[in-house]
Chains A and B, each alone.
Chain A
Amino acid sequence: EDKVVQSPLSLVVHEGDTVTLNCSYEVTNFRSLLWYKQEKKAPTFLFMLTSSGIEKKSGRLSSILDKKELFSILNITATQTGDSAVYLCAARGGGADGLTFGKGTHLIIQP
């Protein structure tokens, strides 16, 4: 059975800190890994990763995939209170159309 595990499950930091969120996966015929940000509404797409070692960046957020070790990290630098959310990691395997999600990391940024 495909599995995605995120850590930590919750994290509280101060504004300006840098955070690293972890995601490990076990997916048959891995195709892609996706990160989403979920506030009190729709999960918002952040990144899709398919190749190892290529960092994707968007402003203060960046992510990288390691297909050998089967994990991905999401980094957020110079955190702001607006970064407070649940960050979801999901993986897609071959032959599967649905995404397998982790439980999410609940990130709280304190002023």
Chain B
Amino acid sequence: NAGVMQNPRHLVRRRGQEARLRCSPMKGHSHVYWYRQLPEEGLKFMVYLQKENIIDESGMPKERFSAEFPKEGPSILRIQQVVRGDSAAYFCASSPAGTVKNIQYFGAGTRLSVL
């Protein structure tokens, strides 16, 4: 039973380029969450998605960031026109539906470096 899979593990982009981060939830999980971890900071919630729906994007920056979780395939976190301040570790978590959805299981993260 594979865990939450994120790829790539490391991503290097130049300022102004686009970054696409992918997350495949655990088998049987229909809820996906994205978090960002800046150096010396805790994980910060960004967005919560179910299949084909964004449920809560209260933690997403208003510009350049978007997320989707299509009916087929992984969830994608997209950052357009990256800037140096976007350099961070981006973690994805998934949970099953129902009351146990309080437990979120995390992937190993994608470390984004913007040059």
- A interface vs B, CB < 8 Å? 4, 31-32, 34, 36, 41-45, 48, 50, 88, 90, 92, 96-104
Contacts and interface: CB of A to CB of B under 8 A. Distances in A.
A1 to B, nearest CB: 11
A42 B3 contact: yes
Nearest to B48: A97
A42 B42 contact: no
Contacts of B3: 42
Given A97-B48, A98-B59, A45 B43 contact: no
19 contacts: A31-B102, A32-B102, A34-B102, A41-B108, A42-B108, A43-B91, A45-B105, A96-B45, A96-B56, A97-B33, A98-B45, A98-B46, A99-B33, A100-B45, A101-B35, A101-B42, A102-B42, A103-B40, A103-B42
Interface string B1-37: 0011000000000000000000000000000010100
Interface in B96-115: 102-109
Contact of A43 (B41, B56, B106): B106
